[in-house]
Amino acid sequence: MWLTAPFDAELIDRLNRAQAGVVPSPAHPLVCPRARDGRHALAGGYVGTLVAQRRGLVCPSCGHVQAWVPASVLAAAERVSDEPAACAAQRIERMRQGALEDFRALVRDGHLSAQPMVETLEAMAPRPAAREAAPAGAAELALAA
């Protein structure tokens, strides 16, 4: 089965996570067919990684558009792995940070079609746990002690 553009926001997010390898079972991302021409940047650990957008998978370096994706790409990337959850979370966060650096650099260099990947990776950032609210008057009790 094939997934064809235009892609909706949820599919764009899922594809970009798979492309950046920040999924339970990462695989080699889909890359631009012209990735070996010397003009394509290394991003997310691979040269010519395509970025999901509404119109399809887009190459940030040359603008090549691939308007289809095999559904098996997502199925494979999202399948549960045997890796312990804590290890998987650490691996995914390391991959996210590295890929985010790479794709931000592409955007800074004028490759604006990398922006959807930056947005996906930024949205995945771990949020600090909310501290439990201190009971009313706790500060006064601590000072009185």
- 11-52 per-position pLDDT tens digit: 999 999 999 999 999 999 999 999 999 999 999 999 999 999
Global confidence as pTM: 0.82
- 59-114 per-position pLDDT tens digit: 999 999 999 999 999 999 988 888 898 899 999 999 999 999 999 999 999 999 99
Distance between CA atoms of residues 108 and 119, nearest Å: 14
Q: Where are the domains of the chain?
A: 2-124
Estimate the share of the chain in helix, then strand, then coil, as percent rounded to the nearest 5. Answer: 45, 15, 40
Residue with tokens 């800074």: 108
Question: φ and ψ at 70, to 5 degrees?
Answer: -65, 135
Contact 81, 27 (CB under 8 A): no
